[in-house]
Amino acid sequence: MSSLCREVITLQLGHYSNFAGTHWWNLQDASLSYDPESPPGEIQSDVVFREGQTPGGHVTYTPRLIAMDLKGSLRTLRQEGSLYDAGKDTSALTWDGSITMHEESPPAKNSFLEDLDKLDKGEILAEADFPSSSQPQCSARSLSVDTVNSHLARVQKSYRLECSVKVWSDFLRIHLHPRTISVIHQYNHDGEAHRLEAFGQGESLLQGSVLEELEDRLHFFVEECDYLQGFQVLCDLADGFAGLGSKVTELLHDSYGGRGILTWGLLPVSHPDSVSVSFFKSKCFVTRLLYLYLLSLFEQTPVKDLYRLLNCTLGMVHMASHSSLFCPLTLRGGLGRRPSSPTTFTHLSYDPSLWYHSSSVLALALDTLTAPYRLRNNSVPMWQLADDLAVSGRKVVAAYGAVPFPMMHGSSLPDALSTYTDVLPWRPLSGCAEAGDGRCYGQWATLKGFEGQKLISSLAAGTKPPTPLHSLHSGEDVLASYIRSFYPSAPLALQLVSTPSELAPPFPQIFSQSLGAQGFLEGQPPPPGSTPRVISSVPVMTSLQSGPALDPWLSELHRGVSAFDIRRVAPSFLSQGPEVSDYQEALEQLRLLARCYRDDSRGVMRSSSEEEDDD
C-alpha cells in the first residue's frame, strides 16, 4: 500500500528466547547492506533497526530491541554494550574513602568473539580459508565498504562453537543499544538458589523498579517511532518468564492499544538441568554413579517437568489473551510432559539437545514467518496478519516450516512442489501435527529465498505440462494452487520474498551435504573426502495455521494439566501466585480456547461424542 517505515519493536524474554533472538538478529545483520550504491533490499531493515548517535557523535545502527535475562547470564557481554561507552572508567567520583575492589576474572572468549574484538579494533583477520582466486575483485570493494560482514564473509571460517557456546552472547555478532539489555537481579541464571521456576514468580516480577525500567526502555524505543506497527515478543514458555511475558504483553496491550502484538512462545527440546549438569561435570566417579542411580529412582526430576508444563499452559492462556496472535515455537514433538521425538528435517542434521542448534532452526523459520510485515513494498502490517488468522477468539496459531525448502538447483517452483504431492514439505514448528483432513480456518504461507530460481515453469509452447502447476503464470498462483490441493476451502494468504536468509558465521553448519552453497539441492553429493560445503544462504517456506488440528492439541494440554491436583502434587508452584481460583479459571479458559477450534460443520454424531471426552 505504501512504503512508510512501520517500525516494530522486539522484546526477548528469557534465555532461550534470547538464543533464538540472537540467531535472528545475526541473520538480519548478515543481509544488511552498508553499500549506498546497492539498490534497497526487499526487506526494510529500518523496521527493526534504528539509527542513533553516540555521545561522541558516531552514527550507530542497532536493533529496536529489549532483551530481558537473569543475573549471571551475560558472561562476556557488558550490559550496556561497548558502542556508547568510551570504556572502563572505574574512578570513583562519589566516594573519597577506601574502596574495596571485587573484580571477577573475565570469562574466556571463544574464537568467534576474539575475532569480533579484533575486527572492532581494526585488525584484519588471518584469511586462512580464503580462496586466492577471487581475491582481486573483492578487495577493491572492501576498501570502500569495510564492514564486519564483509570481513566475516571473506574469512568464511567455520567456528564450530558447539562446545563453547554457553550463553547467547557467545555467538552475538552485532552491537546492541545500551538500553537493550535488562538484567533481572532477583533471580539467578544458574545454580541451585533463587531460580525463576514458576509462573507466579515471573508474574510478580513486573512491579516496582523492574516495571519502571521496562516502561523507560519501552518509552525510549516507542517515542521515536513515527508509524509503530507493533511488537514482536519472544518469550520462554517453560520457566517463570512465561509469567513475566503474560504481564509484559498485558502492559503492551494496555499502553499501546491498536498496535499489533505478535507473541512467540519458545520452548527448547530439553533443559540442561542444573543438578544433572553439576553432577555430570563432577570429576568424582562416585558422584556420577550416584547421579545415575538417582535418575533411575526419580525418572528425571518429575517436579521440574511438571512446573514446565504448568508454566507453558498458564503462559499460553495469558499471553494469547493479551496478544493479537500467539504462536508456540519449538522443535519438541509436543507441549506435554512426554512429547514424541523432536521434529526432524530431511536436509538438516541438528542436535536437538543443543540450544545453539535448535534455536538456529527456529530463528531461520522466524526470519521467514516475520517477513510479511518487514517488507519494503506491499508489506502486510502485523495487525492485519493477526486479523486474518485470529478470527472469533482463535488467537493461538500453529507454525510449520520447510527448513530449508527443498528445491533442486536450477529447477522451478512447480517442479519442486510436484515432488510433494502426497504430503506437504513442511514440518511442525509448534509441536502440533497437521490433521491431514484438509480443514483449516485460515492460513498464512510465506516462501522466502527463491532468488535465482524460476517461479513458473518455462515449457516450450505446445508442450503438455506434466502437472497443472506447470501451466500457471505466477509464483503466487503456483503456491496457492499447490496449498489448495491440501486445504481446498481454507482462506489463504501468501507472501513470496525472493531474497534468501543469509547465513554468516557463526550460524551453525547443520545442513546435509545434499545442499549446495545457496541452499538448493544438488544433483550429486560432493565427492567423499572433499571439504564440506559451506552453506551461505537457504530458502525457507513457512505456514501459520489456525484450524481444527489445534483443538485436540490444546485439549491434550488441558487434560495433561487437569489430570492432577496441583495443591497436592506441586503445592509450592502457587506459593507466589496465582490464586487457586485464578489457576482454575486459566484452565477453564484453555478448555474454552480449545473449543473455539472445534469444527461445528461436522455431523452431530461426532461432536456429541467429543462432548463426552471433556467430562
Partner 1 sequence: KANSHNLLVSGAGDIKLTKDGNVLLHEMQIQHPTASLIAKVATAQDDITGDGTTSNVLIIGELLKQADLYISEGLHPRIIAEGFEAAKEKSLAVLEEVKVTREMDRETLINVARTSLRTKVHAELADLLTEAVVDAVLAIAKPNEPTDLYMVEIMEMKHKTDCDTQLIRGLVLDHGARHPDMKKRVEDAYILTCNVSLEYEKTEVNSGFFYKSADEREKLVAAERKFIEDRVQKIIALKNKVCPNGDKGFVVINQKGIDPFSLDALAKEGIVGLRRAKRRNMERLTLACGGIAMNSVDDLTPECLGHAGLVYEHTLGEEKYTFIEKCGNPRSVTLLVKGPNKHTLTQIKDAVRDGLRAVKNAIEDGSVVSGAGAFEVAVADALVKHKPNVKGRAQLGVQAFADALLVIPKVLAQNSGYDPQETLLKLQTEYKESGQLVGVDLSTGEPMVAGEAGVWDNYSVKKQLLHSCTVIASNILLVDEIMRAGMSSLKG
User: Long-range pairs for 76-82 at CB < 8 Å and ≥24 separation?
Assistant: 76/106, 76/107, 76/109, 76/113, 76/169, 76/170, 77/169, 77/172, 77/181, 79/181, 79/183, 80/178, 80/181, 81/175, 81/176, 81/177, 81/178, 81/180, 81/181, 82/120, 82/175
Binding partner 1 by CB under 8 A: which of 36, 92, 283, 284? Answer: 92
Q: Which is nearer to partner 1, 48 or 407 (CB)?
A: 48
Q: Which is nearer to partner 1, 123 or 224 (CB)?
A: 224
Q: According to CB under 8 A, which residues from 326 to 365 bind partner 1?
A: none
Q: At what angle do helices 148-155 and 135-144 cross, to 10 degrees?
A: 160
513: contact with partner 1 by CB under 8 A: no
367 and 43 Cβ atoms separated by less than 8 Å:
no
89: contact with partner 1 by CB under 8 A: yes
Cell of 234: 519472544
1: contact with partner 1 by CB under 8 A: yes
**CA separation for the pair 44, 497 (Å, rounded):** 12
The C-alpha angle with vertex 553 and arms to 550 and 554, in degrees rounded to 5, equals 85
At closest approach, how far in Å is the CB of 411 from partner 1? 30
192: contact with partner 1 by CB under 8 A: yes
255: contact with partner 1 by CB under 8 A: yes
Residue (of 75, 53, 61, 64) closest to 33 by Cα position: 61
DSSP state of 531: P
Binding partner 1 by CB under 8 A: which of 3, 34, 35, 79? Answer: 79
* Binding region for partner 1 (CB under 8 A) out of 152-160, 251-259, 468-476, 565-573: 251-259
Q: Which helix (H) or strand (E) holds 602?
A: none
**CA separation for the pair 116, 14 (Å, rounded):** 25
55: contact with partner 1 by CB under 8 A: yes
76: contact with partner 1 by CB under 8 A: yes
Q: Which is nearer to partner 1, 79 or 111 (CB)?
A: 79
Q: Which is nearer to partner 1, 197 or 367 (CB)?
A: 197
Count of CB atoms situated within 10 Å of the CB of 449:
28
Binding partner 1 by CB under 8 A: which of 75, 253, 337, 559? Answer: 75
Binding partner 1 by CB under 8 A: which of 131, 258, 523, 528? Answer: 258
Q: According to CB under 8 A, which residues from 199 to 218 bind partner 1?
A: 212, 215-216
- Map residue 91 onto helix, strand or coil: coil
78: contact with partner 1 by CB under 8 A: yes
601: contact with partner 1 by CB under 8 A: no
String of DSSP letters for 436-502: -SS--SEEEEEEE--TTSBSS--PPTTPPPSSGGGG-SSHHHHHHHHHHTTSTTS-EEEEEE-SPEE
At closest approach, how far in Å is the CB of 494 from partner 1? 10
226: contact with partner 1 by CB under 8 A: yes
491: contact with partner 1 by CB under 8 A: yes
Stated length of the chain: 615
Residue (of 110, 171, 114) closest to 509 by Cα position: 171
Which x/- pattern over 389-408 shows residues binding partner 1 (rule: CB under 8 A)?
A: --x-----------------
476: contact with partner 1 by CB under 8 A: no
80: contact with partner 1 by CB under 8 A: yes
Residue (of 243, 315, 228) closest to 10 by Cα position: 228
* Binding region for partner 1 (CB under 8 A) out of 41-49, 53-61, 283-291, 298-306: 53-61
Q: Which is nearer to partner 1, 98 or 524 (CB)?
A: 98
At closest approach, how far in Å is the CB of 191 from partner 1? 5
**CA separation for the pair 445, 365 (Å, rounded):** 12
At closest approach, how far in Å is the CB of 396 from partner 1? 18
CA distances from 243 to 192, 398, 514, 557, 575 (A): 20, 21, 43, 18, 14
At closest approach, how far in Å is the CB of 530 from partner 1? 40
* Binding region for partner 1 (CB under 8 A) out of 325-333, 340-348, 376-384, 395-403: 376-384
Residues 6+ apart with CB under 8 A from 175: 60, 62, 81, 82, 83
284: contact with partner 1 by CB under 8 A: no
100: contact with partner 1 by CB under 8 A: yes
57: contact with partner 1 by CB under 8 A: yes
* Binding region for partner 1 (CB under 8 A) out of 32-40, 81-89, 196-204, 339-347: 81-89
Q: Which is nearer to partner 1, 391 or 534 (CB)?
A: 391
Q: What does the longest C-alpha to C-alpha distance in the chain come to?
A: 92
Backbone angles phi, psi at 9, to 5 degrees: -105, 135
484: contact with partner 1 by CB under 8 A: no
281: contact with partner 1 by CB under 8 A: no
Q: According to CB under 8 A, which residues from 231 to 250 bind partner 1?
A: none
439: contact with partner 1 by CB under 8 A: no
Q: Which is nearer to partner 1, 153 or 494 (CB)?
A: 494
Backbone angles phi, psi at 226, to 5 degrees: -85, -35
Binding partner 1 by CB under 8 A: which of 97, 122, 462, 603? Answer: 97
Q: According to CB under 8 A, which residues from 104 to 123 bind partner 1?
A: 104-107
At closest approach, how far in Å is the CB of 381 from partner 1? 7
String of DSSP letters for 295-360: HHHHTS-HHHHHHHHHHHHHHHHHHHHHSSEEEEEE-SS-SSSS--SPP--TTB---TT-HHHHHH
Pairing label, strands 8-13, 230-236: parallel
At closest approach, how far in Å is the CB of 143 from partner 1? 29
Backbone angles phi, psi at 520, to 5 degrees: -95, 155
Backbone angles phi, psi at 56, to 5 degrees: -80, 0
CA distances from 609 to 94, 435, 589 (A): 73, 18, 21
Residues making contact with partner 1 (CB under 8 A): 1, 52-55, 57, 71-72, 74-80, 85, 88-90, 92-107, 178, 185-186, 188, 191-194, 212, 215-216, 219-220, 222-228, 255, 258-260, 381, 383-384, 387-388, 391, 442, 491, 493
